[in-house]
């Protein structure tokens, strides 16, 4: 099923980009099973911490291009949780969130989507992370 979802999802023209490899441990959490993701997602509903879910694929050029920026944001915004989901591994999760193209970044608070960025636009993503990171979901 992951293959059929992959064919449906287009990440646009391939970008010639290299991902810088760091010796520092990643502060982006990758989930490889739906069960572990679901348990983490359910637990996240109990706090107001912003969660940024990066839906990507190993073959997607723009996803590789923006990877260093995501790592930098995760290091900069330590009060925000950055999650990586490979759409080929967890196609059910990608479908649940209506992912149509990659990369797609879904911003969640208490289990609810508060914003979304489609494409490798690091400036827009950082702007939305700053906007939502300290803001309560039920602001008056």
Question: Per DSSP, which regions of the chain are E strands?
Answer: 28-31, 51-56, 81-86, 104-109, 112-118
Please, what are the domains in the chain?
Answer: 28-132 (3.40.30.10)
Residue 4: Cβ within 10 Å count = 9
Written as six digits, the tokens of 96 are: 């649940």
CA distance linking residue 53 with residue 82, whole number of Å: 6
Active site residues: 60, 63
CA distance linking residue 73 with residue 67, whole number of Å: 10
| Residue 119 DSSP class | S
pLDDT digits (tens, 9 = 90+) for 75-118: 999 999 999 999 999 999 999 999 999 999 999 999 999 999 99
Per-residue pLDDT at 70:
97
pLDDT above 90 for 9: no
């Amino acid at each position: 099923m992951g293959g059929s979802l992959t064919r449906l999802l287009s990440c646009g023209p391939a970008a010639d980009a290299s991902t810088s490899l760091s010796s520092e441990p990643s502060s982006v959490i990758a989930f490889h099973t739906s069960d572990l993701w679901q348990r983490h997602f359910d637990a996240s509903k109990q706090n107001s911490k912003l969660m940024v879910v990066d839906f990507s694929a190993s073959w997607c050029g723009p996803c590789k291009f923006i990877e260093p920026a995501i790592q930098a944001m995760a290091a900069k915004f330590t009060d925000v949780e950055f999650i990586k989901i490979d759409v080929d591994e967890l196609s059910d999760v990608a479908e649940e969130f209506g992912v149509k193209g990659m990369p797609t970044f879904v911003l969640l608070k208490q289990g609810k989507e508060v914003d979304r960025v489609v494409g490798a636009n690091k400036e827009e993503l950082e702007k939305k992370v700053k906007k939502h990171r300290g803001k309560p979901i039920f602001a008056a």
